Amino acid sequence: MATSTNPITNPTTNLTTNLITSRGNLPLPANNTWEDDTPHEECGIFGAFVPGEEAARMTFFGLFALQHRGQESAGIAVSDGEAIRIHKDMGLVTQVFHEDELKRLRGHIAVGHTRYSTTGSSVKQNAQPLSCLHDAGTVVVAHNGNLINTRELHTEMKARGIPFETTNDSEIIARLLAEQKDLGRTTAEAVRETMKQIRGAYSLAILTETELIGVRDPNGVRPLCLGRLDNGKWVLASETCALNTVDATFVRELSPGEIVIIDRDGVRRVPGVPMEREALCMLETIYFARPDSEMYGQSLHIARQRMGIELAREHPVEADLVIGVPDSGIPAALGFALESGIPYNEGFIKNRYIQRTFIQPDQRMRDLGVRMKLTAIRETVKGKRVVMVDDTIVRGTTTGKVVRLLLDAGASEVHVRISAPPVSYPCFYGIDMATQDQLIAASHSIEEIRQHIGATSLGYLSTEGLAHALSVSNDSFCLACFTGDYPIEIPPHVMVSKFALEMPMVNGNGAHYHTAEDLTEATSVKRNRILEPAFDAPDNGEGPE
Ligand code: SF4
């Protein structure tokens, strides 16, 4: 039986509420407070099945390694085999969890979540993991991704009398799972039936009183990997960097459409739903994931260096110096320097703590914008023809200011090189970047963008260059924000936005769409390719269901 720690069903008596009351909610600065023009990571998830150990403590360190994937809220749910306890709050992992909380989260099975909001506002109510009671116990969900049939499911489930207490699409998953459990289904059946109903991007770490379950959507848009501790204990994580942190050995990435169930009998792979078209988010490899993580069996730091090498081949230039925009532009800058023979040096100092202040800037400080985050190193760039390598240009608001920093510091030329193709289409699969009307590449030519940012020259890596750099066919990736070719069909009549359950026709950035046709036109969504159902379940040595 679950204890009464369920924040959804019993908000007055749970551990989470008590602790929040005693500490109060930490006000987080809005993401754009300090000139923030980058796509935002979605969420990080972690799960641990570690009999004899403190699963919550291990999950804390796993989440700590995944902090880059979301900084708005953090939470851990833990089971001791009989009762489930949850603690979650707004803030960074280290702000939400202290010794007291971890000591109270007793148990050997845990799931954890660090959140950047993709559907639903950044409020405590929407923090994850989300739990839901059913007749025989509790199911807890940690979700990374974004559903695209949120509104239909929400409407249909509400019509069936199912209550909702958050504006988070992840609650739909938790409630569908609980509903299936109430019908008497096994966990595997409940997960499979839920997967048949939800559409979109989802990697899940699910907790019951006795099991840890990992799930990846049929397109594998968001990553999820399985790791093993030396004594046969198991962990799940969004990225391999979290496995390294807890000293787990990487076993494999979950396949698209796959379910793994971990319990006292070990880990077993059970049929999920058929893989549709493998479509890992390409921006994970370019920018989101930590460079010390691996995807498709390769180090992302090395992959990003190869992107820089391809970039130098596609857009050579005569220059004196190569610099990277910290932090994510640096590996590609190293690759560019390696291929071009132009020396690499540090061109900027970054204030790594600017996003973590709780003091709101006044207008004067806000006007200083990017200077609060980056300082050009005058001694490095003065009088030099500089190649400045970065990973993306989204709205174009920041890149021009960074170019201006270099020119003000005395650079004679600034050649901007971007290790990704132009971002021209919005993301519906869990990345918060902008609406299409805010994406500079959606409405401007490369020459117009160059003029807008004040660069001497501008070059983007091609989609072919990405494939060369990764040595993996582009058919294995989602490239929709570059190409408009969405691997999972976006219902044209549905507004899918960060606030889909709150303000149906207003997107997360304030743009208003009066009709579904407006939205369709605004996003120029191309219809997806024909999908070939072909569930592939290679034998990996784990037992059958
Ligand atoms: S649209 Fe872009 S950001 Fe979104 S999943 Fe696809 S590649 Fe990633």
| DSSP letter (8 states) at residue 52 | T
Rounded CA gap, 145 and 52, in Å? 32
> Which of 238, 288, 439, 479 best tests ligand 1's pocket when mutated (most atoms within 8 Å of CB)?
479
- Ligand 1 mean position to 284 CA, how many Å? 8
CA of 228 to the centre of ligand 1 (A): 29
Note the pLDDT of residue 455.
98
Architecture of domain 40-279: 4-Layer Sandwich (3.60)
What is this structure's pTM? 0.83
Instruction: Decide: 328 and 292 in contact? Cβ < 8 Å.
Output: no
What the block records as the tokens of 195 is: 């997967």
Cα–Cα distance list, 319 to 334, 380, 381, 385, 403 (Å): 15, 13, 11, 5, 15
Domain boundaries, the chain: 40-279, 299-470
Residue 364 pLDDT: 60
Residue 487 alpha carbon, nearest atom of ligand 1? 6
Residues with a CB atom less than 6 Å from ligand 1: 221, 281-283, 427, 429, 431, 478-481
With the C-alpha atoms ordered 36, 39, 43, 46, is the resulting torsion angle positive or negative?
negative
Given ligand 1 and candidates 481, 485, 528, which is best to mutate, with the most ligand atoms within 8 Å of its CB? 481
**Helix axes 169-182 and 150-159, enclosed angle (nearest 10):** 50
Strands 280-281 and 321-324: unpaired
Q: How far is residue 470's CA from residue 484's CA, in Å, rounded to a whole number?
A: 21
Region at 104 (left for phi over 0; alpha for psi -120 to 50; beta for the rest): alpha
Pocket test for ligand 1, best of 38, 283, 474 (most atoms within 8 A of CB): 283
Burial letters 225-246, b for 16+ CB under 10 A, else e: bbbebeeebbbbbbbbbbbbbb
Is residue 43 annotated as part of the catalytic site, yes or no? yes
pLDDT recorded at residue 532: 24
R_g of the chain computed on alpha carbons: 23
The matching CATH number, chosen from 3.40.50.720, 3.40.109.10, 3.90.79.10, 3.40.50.2020, for 299-470 is: 3.40.50.2020
Enter the tokens of residue 302. Answer: 């090395």
Q: Which residue in 43, 132, 427, 478 is the catalytic one?
A: 43
Q: In the prediction, which pLDDT does 539 show?
A: 28
Quick check: do 40-279 and 299-470 share a fold? Answer: no
Ligand 1 atom with minimal separation from the 425 CA: 1
Per-residue pLDDT reduced to its tens digit, 160-184: 999 888 888 899 999 999 999 999 9
| Spacing, Cα 391 to ligand 1 middle (Å) | 14
- Ligand 1 centroid vs 526 CA: distance in angstroms? 14
Residues of the chain with pLDDT under 50: 1-35, 356-358, 494-500, 502-545
Report the distance separating Cα 143 and Cα 146, nearest Å: 8
The predicted-structure confidence for 264-276, as pLDDT tens digits, reads as follows 999 999 999 998 8
CA–centroid distance, 488 to ligand 1, in Å, is 11
Backbone φ and ψ for 299, nearest 5 degrees, come out as: -65, 130
Gap between the Cα atoms of 39 and 508, Å rounded: 13
